[in-house]
Amino acid sequence: MPARGSWAWMAGVLALAAGLAMLAGAFGGGTPAGAAAPARIHVELDIELDPAARTLRADARLHIPAGLSGDFALAHGFEVDAFSFDGVARATKADARQPHLAIWRVGTSARDRELRLRYHGLLAPLDTDLDHRGVLRGLPAQAGAEGAYLPAGAAWYPLVDGLFSYRLTVTLPPGQIGIAPGRLIEESPPATAAGGDAPYRAVFDFPQPADGIDLMVGPYVVAECMAPLGEREVRLRTYFHADLADLAQDYLRDSEAYLRLYDDWIGPYPFAGFSVVASPLPTGFGMPGLTYLGRDVIRLPFIRATSLGHEILHNWWGNGVYPDWASGNWSEGLTTYMADYHYQARQSAEAAREARRQWLRDFAAVPAGEDRPLTAFTSRTHAAAGIVGYGKAAMLFHMLREHIGAEAFDAGVRRFWQEQRFRVAGWRELQAAFEQASGQDLHDFFRQWLTRTGAADLRIVEAEVQAGRLRLRLAQSEPPYRLDLPLWVRTDAGEERHVVALHAALTDIDLATSSPPRAVRIDPGFDVWRHLAADEIPATLRQIMLAQDPRVQIADSEAAFREAARTLTARLLENAPVDGGLTADRAGVLFLRDDRAEVELARRGLPPPPPQVLGRGDARAWAAARGDAPPVVVISARDAQALADLTRALPHYGRQSYVVFERGRALERGVWPAAERWVEVRGR
């Protein structure tokens, strides 16, 4: 799930900060462990916000230590009413303008200074029609009757050079309640008893180094409890709309369990509390001390078992240790591995294996040319980037744990947290922590998985029995990876697991087996980042969703049906489609009406609807394989309305081979079976 902890919001920050000359240097590295904390700017921000009117008025004081730049920026749309330095008024005109922001350059000084800024502006309308891709690509500060969301990347506060601390005071109209990262130190009236005609006022203190300020506002019903965590108590809250209030206690209980899990596993939870905040947007953002989840997402029964824990873990990775953007964002991979994957591993070994296989299947759908090294990943602005930044990075941590052992891995995690808490750290610091914990030189391991694109391409060249031993010749693509490669051997007595070391393009292996070998298989547990063989990759919707230059054909003449198909296409496909006939060399989408499905499929040489979808629901989508040609996704619906109902839901089912819907709700889904690639042993 995308998160501010996953730095999806950073796309907006990076765009806004392009003109702030010194910003890049501020994120270039952390403070060495044991060194004195650097001086930082402290921001005191007092705002009055009226979500319905979309108006914001702000009074900001920036306390700037000697030697630090006082340069700051605001997003376009704000008008500065007053600007002073140490009580002396300054001109209010910006020194420079960039596409997204205006910049005031005030330079450095040998003494401490105070900058005061009063400004106001009209926020963008709250856009509740955004899909998940629109949210991922950055949002402006926005407001409406349903509330307001002012993301850290939108420069609605003075955007300064580097990390800073802040104290935020928020005043809102009656009926609206606000929350921001930080310790809640004042609140009137108490949010748990808010109501009546009194305005709401709250003060949030964030003394740790921060890289931005987020503010969420809404007509919330607030529930609260105090939870013991180690030797202290933390405040847990839910900020839910009235129709979600009955879920509050379940979220409070599960939040406490996740906090305890990671407090014990990694180290002390770094904030004073944790809140789950409902959003009118399709968000899933993790921020310091809170998560901002779409209200429709909160209703889903599986969210508490998956995404909630992921967002809580971002309080350690991403919001407790900040990624070094110059070397890539490691936080999403580590969070995916220690949250989503960990929960599946607790469920069963088979569930964990399926998760690893899914990472590799996702990667198989990435078009040529869209793969990037992990050092280039910063945020999931599109699906291909997410597959690398989440899936490949998570597999890196899985392979690392297999290589150094679980005890050393956990020790490395704890060391990294102890040394880098509230610092900017990169892959280099992670490598150092794991090297110290394991006593191993991990330079080659990290270098190959961080700096190279692609994956290992592995095959068995020869497999035969000689003198009672299994002789294998294994090949991999150039330049070769250094791998701990699991092999399963099928013998007369059963299956055996072996792990062999590969360093070269061709490697000869000599194995002793407990009984005569019959067949051998490379990495059946999907423990290595590798290219899957063609018969290991079932056709899925994602292969079309990520396809380059996909073909789209709408086999119906009704205007409403065609319009619904075009709207769904825009939400479904990452790349611009070509409307017209399907071709054998390109992936495609075929839209059909149910009563013409079999005829239209036969006309194009495609098989009839599979039994898994036939006659079920009012709409269905399935990936139809075409031999060696790219697959076609068939979307068949009863009528235009049934097709339109898929617009929000279908893009979330890319990993599936087929999905059956009724009124936009998935009734059934699944993945076509894939082959198991056993290679027969000769000379038995």
Tens digits of per-residue pLDDT, 333-349? 999 999 999 999 999 99
Confidence check: pLDDT of 16 > 50 = no
* pLDDT tens column, 535-554: 899 999 999 998 888 999 99
Of the listed ranges 27-31, 111-115, 320-324, 441-445, the least confidently predicted one is: 27-31
1 band by pLDDT with thresholds 50, 70 and 90: very low
Confidence check: pLDDT of 437 > 70 = yes
- Is 569 in the same domain as 634? yes
* pLDDT tens column, 64-75: 999 999 999 999
Percent of the chain with pLDDT over 90: 74
* pLDDT tens column, 259-300: 999 999 999 999 999 999 999 888 788 999 999 999 988 998
- pLDDT at residue 68, as a whole number: 94
| Domain membership flag for residue 683 | no
| Domain membership flag for residue 475 | yes
- Is 631 in the same domain as 661? yes
- Is 148 in the same domain as 272? yes
User: What stretch of H or E contains 604?
Assistant: none
* Contact of 669 with 658, CB cutoff 8 Å: yes
- Is 336 in the same domain as 291? no
Which of 531, 558, 573 is the last residue in one of the domains? 531
Which of 293, 320, 347 is the last residue in one of the domains? 320
What are the DSSP calls for 504-559, one per residue? SSEEEEEE--SS-EEEEEE-TT--S-BPPPGGG----HHHHHT-SS-EEEE----H
- pLDDT at residue 627, as a whole number: 79
- pLDDT at residue 101, as a whole number: 87
- Is 284 in the same domain as 419? no
| Domain membership flag for residue 35 | yes
- Is 33 in the same domain as 68? yes
302 band by pLDDT with thresholds 50, 70 and 90: confident
- Is 237 in the same domain as 250? yes
* pLDDT tens column, 169-226: 999 999 999 999 999 999 999 988 766 788 999 999 999 999 899 999 999 999 999 9
Confidence check: pLDDT of 19 > 50 = no
* Distance separating alpha carbons of residues 259 and 255, to the nearest angstrom: 6
- CATH number of the domain enclosing 487: 2.60.40
Mean pLDDT of 423-427: 96
- CATH number of the domain enclosing 215: 2.60.40.1730
- Is 130 in the same domain as 243? yes
Q: How many domains does the chain have?
A: 4
The rounded mean pLDDT for the chain is 90
Confidence check: pLDDT of 606 > 50 = yes
- pLDDT at residue 3, as a whole number: 44
* Distance separating alpha carbons of residues 119 and 423, to the nearest angstrom: 31
| Domain membership flag for residue 246 | yes
Q: Shortest CA distance to 423 belongs to which of 24, 29, 7?
A: 29
Confidence check: pLDDT of 21 > 70 = no
* Contact of 336 with 414, CB cutoff 8 Å: no
Mean pLDDT of 665-670: 94
- pLDDT at residue 197, as a whole number: 83
Range list of H helices, 163-291: 248-265
Residue that wins the pLDDT comparison between 168 and 281: 168
- Is 78 in the same domain as 124? yes
Assign 422 to helix, strand or coil.
coil
Confidence check: pLDDT of 5 > 50 = no
Quick count: other Cβ atoms within 10 Å of Cβ 336? 26
Quick count: other Cβ atoms within 10 Å of Cβ 471? 17
| 390-to-81, 266, 303, 385, 529 alpha-carbon distances in Å | 44, 20, 18, 8, 13
131 band by pLDDT with thresholds 50, 70 and 90: low
- CATH number of the domain enclosing 416: 1.10.390.10
The first and second tokens of residue 277, run together, are 């905040």
- CATH number of the domain enclosing 659: 3.30.379
Quick count: other Cβ atoms within 10 Å of Cβ 665? 10
pTM, rounded to two decimals: 0.88
Which of 274, 299, 320 is the last residue in one of the domains? 320
- Is 507 in the same domain as 581? no
| Domain membership flag for residue 409 | yes
- Is 349 in the same domain as 209? no
What single letter denotes the amino acid at residue 382? H
Q: With b meaning 16 or more CB within 10 Å and e meaning fewer, what string describes 84-104?
A: ebeeeeeeeebeeebebbbbb
* Distance separating alpha carbons of residues 539 and 549, to the nearest angstrom: 18
- Is 79 in the same domain as 211? yes
| Domain membership flag for residue 571 | yes
Task: Domain of residue 507: give its range.
Answer: 458-531
* pLDDT tens column, 372-410: 999 999 887 667 888 999 999 999 999 999 999 999 999
* pLDDT tens column, 607-633: 999 999 998 999 999 999 887 788 899
* Distance separating alpha carbons of residues 200 and 193, to the nearest angstrom: 11
> What is the three-state SS of 99-128?
CCEEEECCCCCCCCEEEEEEEEEECEECCC
| Domain membership flag for residue 675 | no
| Domain membership flag for residue 466 | yes
